[in-house]
Structure 1
Amino acid sequence: MTKLRLAIVGFGKIATTRHVPAIAASPDVELVAVVDPKAKSPDVPNFASLDALLLDGPDIDAVTLCTPPQVRSAQARLALAAGKHVMLEKPPGATVSEIAPLVAVAQAAKKTLFATWHSRCAPAVEPARKLLAERTIKSVTIIWKEDVRVWHPGQDWIFAPGGFGVFDPGINALSILTRILPRPVFVTRAELGFPANREAPIVVEMEMADATGLSIRTEFDFRQTGPQTWDIRIETDRGRLVLSGGGAKMSDGGNGVVDAMKEEYPTLYRDFVALTSKGECDVDLAPLQIVADAFLLGRRRTVEAFEF
């Protein structure tokens, strides 16, 4: 089988620590170029822009867009117009409505548009989904708190309009939630704390429900220091089910069921290769829609100014 020749666009932390190792571990994908105006790879040709790559670069079959969400839509349109498959880091874009036109372009060209949700590939997610399908769910609590200075050091774009703020990690929790619950969920209340000097929230409290009235309470915070918390706690008719470590571990009624490390990004690339072989798209916008509704419905309050 011929390898998928791929370029990474946006060569920041997530690209270097997650995508590059995943590509290196994949027998079906080859990294042949990097696009970034500043960061460089010592291993493949580097280009300052996607236009430059498409004009003068090596032949590629696909691109992975690891740039901030504010610019991904334009880059995806450019890549699709050039006949390339496109993988989108999460979140897939800065808005919900910009994605549907990209799907239409990809489908017309029989190219793949893959909106990835890496946390859905964590090892406890599918076991949790199967267990919950057989239970009555009474309530859900999500506690997702991390240190932005550790995970996004100096990255001011994350607090700019369209940068998502604390929803950037929080959407990982929402991607798991919308995968493991049996019914769609929607926002009923939200309170978003914006630093006095920033344009995206640093702390969010949100309540959701489903059509049966299931209570879902969510706390996101980008100011956590020390141990980081990525937990989803689910009360059921057969006891408490807890996903921790961002979906790496699952405890069922105090009994450890899953406690393993699974490489999320190699799974994404296996799925991407399979999709490109058929020219199919995989674009689930449920997590992004929840974030959009939180901004639409949520009450805004001002909190202490934030500096990296």
Structure 2
Amino acid sequence: MANPLKMIFGSRNDRVLRRIKKTVKKINALEEDIQALDNDAIRAKTQEFRDRYQAGESLDDLLPEAFAVVREGGVRAMGMRHFDVQLIGGVVLHEGNVAEMRTGEGKTLVATLPAYLNALSGNSVHLITVNDYLASRDAAWMGKLYNFLGLEVGVVKAGQSQEEKRTAYSADIVYGTNNEFGFDYLRDNMAFSMADKMQGQLAFAIVDEVDSILIDEARTPLIISGAAEDSSELYRKINKLIPKLAPRSGEEAEDGDFVIDEKQRTVELTEDGHEQIETMLIDEGLLASDDSLYASTNLGLLHHVNAAL
């Protein structure tokens, strides 16, 4: 038997669509006013929106007018006008939900609406695709619209230098694959300083083919591994130093250069041991006189010491 309340008020999806359609009516009501503006005036809207956002207006407040500007920009830059159903899809994506659309219904064009809106905050918007070809194609294709509205577009892909990627990430709209965004995130978390990081504030992302990327592709973990270095000579040098260190004589004692924990099967340097091994490393020319074994640049050396110990 049908639920009488659902028959009266509709399903949750029906209620969401009714709410969004009210927003679409506001966008449509602005169309004539936006059409009356020349190209420079439309392009100036981007800075106006940013100023209004900085003054306290939310992105939701700016949405109807911003979407109307993107729609008119699409007509002038590419000869493509967003249909009402595409405006609905844009609102759904902006609200962080999944929008299901069939092939040919204009998913790529839909993404320009929330991408432009969220780029007004000053943070880059990431558009995540399944391969490098689609990332480059969509960036070149939709870039005409973004450039017309005064936004910069970047593409991140495999094989780029760190400087090329940093330039791409500085753009307002950034296209790339899920693997590239994921590995760059891992690299940023391994960076020793803020200057070495590439990605900015992670604020808003749109995922194309979300089922493929968040389900199928997600089964493969992203792991960064470095090339193995031949450090046999370094091991030999440090192995000659370690026997010169003395173990602590007892559990309650304060002497010795290292402490052995038989139960935990671990060994650790004492404060005296730290100073002693650093002195020996400096004498061997393995450590600079004004450097510390625990500096971020000497993690490999510290690993060798711990392994030898």
TM-score by length of 2: 0.25
Q: Which has the larger radius of gyration?
A: 2
More helix by share: 2
More strand by share: 1
TM-score by length of 1: 0.25
